[in-house]
C-alpha cells in the first residue's frame, strides 16, 4: 500500500506545550502519529527539535514540522507502508545524526507511528496484531500477544508535581485476572485516596501532577506510601495490591569532585550518597510491599544499579519477592546502553519509550535485546501526552506484560487504559 501524502502539524500536548502530529494517507484513508514529550528526560535520549525564541516560550515545533513536510514527505510519498523497518531506517537516514537532532525525535517518532497505523490498515489487522507481526519478525520467533499488568501512578512528586516529594512516582500494582478488574481496583483506591488527602490537608486544594496522580504537600516517601497503604486497606484490597516507585534519581543528583574521584550527592528529603540511598531503598522495601523500583540512581550509575540488585537478592526478607530494578534514564530505550546495562547486570527490566530513541523499530530492537537477556519490559507513556493510544497496542503487541500510563484520571492517561479494555474485550471474543 503506497503512501500518497505526508502532512505534519503543530498541536498541543497535555501540559499545553507544542508537539508534532503527522498524518499519512493511503488509498485506505488517513493515519495519525503523535509525539509525546517528557519532563524528566535522560541526557542520552534522542533530541527533541524545538524552535527557540519567544513563541510558545521557545517550545514551538514548526521547524520540525517544516522539515517533515518537505524532506521527509518527499522521501516517503510513493513508498509502501508495509515495511516498517525499511521506512524507519529511511527516516534515520534522512536525519543523518545519532540522536535525531536534525529533524527531531519528536517529528521522526510521529512519522514512524503513523506508518505503523497505515501498515495495520493495509493488512486489515488491528494495530496490536500488526505490531506483533513486526516484533515477532525482529525477535526471530512468534511472540504471543498479552494484556499487560498495569502500574498506576496515583501520587506524584519530582518534576511531575509542585511539592517537596523528591521521588517522582508512587504506583499501585493490582493483582487481578483481567485488566478491567485492575482498572476498577485502582479507580476505587484513587477515590479513597482523595478522601484521605482532603481529611489530611483540610482547606487546601489537592492538585494533581502531570500524570494525573495527586500532588499533595508531602516531603517523605514514607508519607506517600503510608497513604497508599491506608487507601488500599479502605478499598478492601490489602492482599491484592503491591507498590512501585519511579525515583527518577537523576533529577535530585548533584555531582561533586574531590581527591581525584567523581562522587555525588542525592538531595531528597535528606542528603544521601549512593551507599546510604541503597540502604534506604532496602528499608522501604522491608516495610512496604514494593515490587518495582525505577531509576534508583543517577542515569550513568550502572554499577550502583547493579549493587542494589545484588543487595536485594542477598536480603532474606526480600529475595522471594523478586523486586525488579527498572532502567529508564539509565537505558533510554537505546540498545547500546541496554547492552552496557546487561553486561553490568544493572537492571532486570527495561522501560520502553518510543520517543526516547525515535522510531518504532529501534524501540522494538531494544525490547528484543532486553527480553533475550532475561529482562522484563514495561511500555511507558511520557508526562506530556495526548489522547493517542499507540502505546496500549504496543504493549499488547510485543507481549511484554507491563505498562504504565499514569493514574485513572485525566483523559490522556485514561485513553490508553480504555484502549486496553477494548483490546482485552476483542481478544476474549476470539
CB distance 68 to 103 below 8 Å? yes
Chain CA centroid to CA 175, Å:
20
Torsion, Cα 362 116 358 291, to 10 degrees, reads: -70
CA distance 66 to 74: 12
- The angle formed by the CA atoms of residues 202, 204 and 205, to the nearest 5 degrees, is 130
- In sequence order, the 6+-apart residues with CB closer than 8 A to the CB of 236 are none
Catalytic residue chosen out of the listed positions 211, 251, 362, 385: 211
CB distance 369 to 15 below 8 Å? no
Catalytic residue chosen out of the listed positions 59, 353, 404, 416: 353
Torsion, Cα 399 402 408 412, to 10 degrees, reads: -60
CB distance 8 to 68 below 8 Å? yes
Active site residue 211: yes
Torsional sign, CA 170, 380, 180, 398: negative
CA distance 153 to 77: 40
CB distance 35 to 355 below 8 Å? yes
C-alpha cell at 226: 503510608
- Among 103, 170, 177, 112, smallest CA distance to 147 is for 177
68: left (phi over 0), alpha (psi -120 to 50) or beta: alpha
Query: In 40-95, at which residue ranges do the beta strands (DSSP E only) sit?
Result: none
Helix axes 179-200, 411-429, angle to 10 degrees: 150
Chain CA centroid to CA 270, Å:
27
Number of H-type helices and E-type strands within the chain: 14, 14
Place of cell 534519581: 249
Chain CA centroid to CA 34, Å:
15
CA distance 37 to 322: 31
Active site residue 279: no
- Among 425, 376, 390, 385, smallest CA distance to 406 is for 385
C-alpha cell at 176: 487481578
For the annotated catalytic residues, the residue numbers are 211, 353
Amino acid at each position: 500500500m503506497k503512501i500518497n501524502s505526508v502532512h505534519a502539524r503543530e498541536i498541543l500536548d497535555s501540559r499545553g506545550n507544542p508537539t508534532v502530529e503527522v498524518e499519512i494517507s493511503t488509498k485506505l484513508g488517513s493515519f495519525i502519529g503523535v509525539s509525546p514529550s517528557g519532563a524528566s528526560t535522560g541526557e542520552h535520549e534522542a533530541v527533541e527539535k524545538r524552535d527557540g525564541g519567544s513563541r510558545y516560550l521557545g517550545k514551538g515545533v514548526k521547524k520540525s514540522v517544516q522539515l517533515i513536510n518537505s524532506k521527509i514527505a518527499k522521501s516517503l510519498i510513493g513508498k509502501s507502508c508495509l515495511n516498517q523497518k525499511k521506512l524507519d531506517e529511511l527516516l534515520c537516514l534522512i536525519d543523518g545524526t545519532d540522536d535525531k537532532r536534525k529533524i527531531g525525535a519528536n517529528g521522526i517518532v510521529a512519522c514512524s507511528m503513523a506508518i505503523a497505523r497505515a501498515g495495520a490498515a493495509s493488512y486489515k489487522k488491528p494495530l496490536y496484531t500488526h505490531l506483533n507481526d513486526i516484533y515477532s519478525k525482529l525477535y526471530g520467533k512468534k511472540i504471543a500477544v498479552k494484556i499487560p499488568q498495569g502500574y498506576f501512578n496515583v501520587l506524584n512528586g519530582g518534576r511531575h508535581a509542585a511539592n517537596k516529594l523528591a521521588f517522582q512516582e508512587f504506583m499501585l500494582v493490582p493483582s487481578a485476572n483481567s485488566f478491567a478488574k485492575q482498572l476498577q481496583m485502582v479507580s476505587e483506591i484513587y477515590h479513597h485516596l482523595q478522601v484521605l488527602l482532603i481529611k489530611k490537608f483540610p482547606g487546601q486544594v489537592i492538585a494533581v501532577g502531570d500524570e494525573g496522580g495527586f500532588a499533595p504537600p508531602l516531603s517523605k516517601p514514607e508519607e506517600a506510601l503510608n497513604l497508599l497503604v491506608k487507601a488500599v486497606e479502605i478499598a478492601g484490597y490489602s492482599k491484592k495490591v503491591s507498590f512501585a516507585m519511579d525515583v527518577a534519581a537523576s533529577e535530585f543528583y548533584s555531582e561533586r569532585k574531590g581527591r581525584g574521584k567523581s562522587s555525588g550527592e542525592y538531595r531528597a528529603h535528606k542528603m544521601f550518597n549512593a551507599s546510604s540511598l541503597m540502604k534506604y531503598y532496602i528499608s522501604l522495601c522491608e516495610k512496604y510491599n514494593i515490587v518495582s523500583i525505577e531509576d534508583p540512581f543517577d542515569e550513568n550509575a550502572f554499577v550502583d544499579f547493579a549493587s542494589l540488585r545484588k543487595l536485594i537478592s542477598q536480603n532474606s526478607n526480600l529475595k522471594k519477592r523478586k523486586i525488579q530494578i527498572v532502567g529508564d534514564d539509565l537505558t533510554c530505550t537505546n540498545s547500546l546502553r541496554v547492552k552496557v546495562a546487561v553486561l553490568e547486570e544493572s537492571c532486570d527490566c527495561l522501560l520502553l519509550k518510543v520517543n526516547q530513541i525515535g522510531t518504532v523499530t529501534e524501540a522494538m530492537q531494544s525490547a528484543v535485546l532486553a527480553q533475550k537477556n532475561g529482562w522484563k519490559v514495561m511500555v511507558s507513556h511520557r508526562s506530556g501526552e495526548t489522547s493517542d493510544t499507540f502505546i496500549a497496542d504496543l504493549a499488547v503487541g510485543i507481549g511484554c506484560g507491563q505498562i504504565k500510563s499514569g493514574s485513572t484520571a485525566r483523559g490522556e492517561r485514561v485513553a490508553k487504559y480504555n484502549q486496553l479494555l477494548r483490546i482485552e474485550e476483542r481478544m476474549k471474543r476470539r
